[in-house]
Amino acid sequence: MSVQTVTVARHAMATRFEILLHGENPTALRAAGEQALDEVERLEDQLSLYRPTSEISHVNRYAAERPVRVTPPVFALLAQARRLWEETHGTFDVTVGPLVRCWGFMGGTGQLPDPQALAAARACVGMQWVGLDPLDCTVRFARPGLLLDLGAIGKGYAIDHAALVLQEAGVTSALLHGGTSSSFAIGAPPDSPGWRAAIPRPAAHAANALGPSGAATGQDAILATAPLREESLSVSAVWGRSFHADGHTYGHVIDPRTAEPVQRAVLAAIVLPSATEADALSTALLTLGEEGLDLLARTRPGLRALLVVPETGAGRFRTLARGDWLPGAGEARGEA
């Protein structure tokens, strides 16, 4: 029987999840793909800040008053988020929600915050205020006003779980992606040593950054291509949700340490075996800028990273890379 190709897709977590599968049994491939997307939807119901019945919403509602019990998987994810917060010197922080809301990016397109409101929000940010009790699987906030938002880790977590569903179903060749920011490669496509996912240059950010096609809008629009096999690629960038005010552009990624939109980089990409970690660490690298390359390389041997930082002059940028990227990556200069 010849190799068949099946594509399944669904809207979840405010983006489009798509899975491209190769194999000899298209019926089984489609069933496995749909089961994987069912898992993404289940996790959205469990983790979404915007679903009032989710475990995270329940924690946000009551944890300032009393310890709130969560399921072991959710507790494990929150414990992992705390470890990542510590390892990234606070630049990845699932308590950043009050700042995101203050800057108008929580369900909106952004706005300049009131200084007093921003100061109040900043006082409610930091994993040091989140108590995790592993014996009872409970979460407790040390002060009111805290807000857990798993938006910078939840998509990667969902992709890891969806990939596990596919692998348990016997799928040996598939590419999963969620929107333009997170992907995971299982095996390799037919007649190729691995999958490839493309990352656009800053000037081409409106193009599709990731996907089964691995292409942006023309080869000249591609900043780099990531070869993937049993690995995840996560891309974080300042564009998407942003607004202009007082001659500046403000993006939706907020530095928890300064309470301001990030300024040190415009794009960060991470390749790791774990989509959960890649999702979180791409956000941290975008926030840290150049110093983050050495920091993350020390904590994750074998990590591949790509970083685009602004230079003096409108539209100028510099690209730095660790590990294997094709083509156009490495220490380079270009025009955005």
Domains in the chain (CATH in brackets) are 60-141 (1.10.3980.10), 192-335 (3.10.520.10)
Q: What is the average per-residue pLDDT within 89-103?
A: 96
Angle at 41 between CA 66 and CA 144, to 5 degrees: 20
Supply the pLDDT for residue 203: 57
Does residue 314 register a pLDDT over 70? no
Supply the pLDDT for residue 217: 42
Supply the pLDDT for residue 211: 37
Residue with tokens 């369900």: 107
pTM, two decimal places = 0.90
Distance from CA of residue 15 to its chain's centroid? 12
Q: What is the pLDDT of residues 3-43, one digit of tens each?
A: 999 999 999 999 999 999 999 999 999 999 999 999 999 99
Give the confidence band of 191 by pLDDT, cuts at 50, 70, 90. Answer: confident
Q: What is the pLDDT of residues 203-245, one digit of tens each?
A: 544 333 333 333 334 456 889 999 999 999 999 998 778 888 8
Does residue 333 register a pLDDT over 80? no
Instruction: Provide the Cα torsion 58, 61, 67, 71; round to 10°.
Output: 10
Q: How many CA atoms are closer than 13 Å to the CA of 303, on its beta-carbon side?
A: 26
Q: Are 202 and 334 in contact (CB under 8 A)?
A: no
Q: What is the average per-residue pLDDT within 138-152?
A: 96
Supply the pLDDT for residue 60: 97
Give the confidence band of 317 by pLDDT, cuts at 50, 70, 90. Answer: confident
Angle at 41 between CA 38 and CA 43, to 5 degrees: 110
Side by side, the strands of the sheet bearing 267-272 are 4-12, 15-23, 174-178, 182-186, 231-237, 267-272, 304-310, 316-322, 332-335
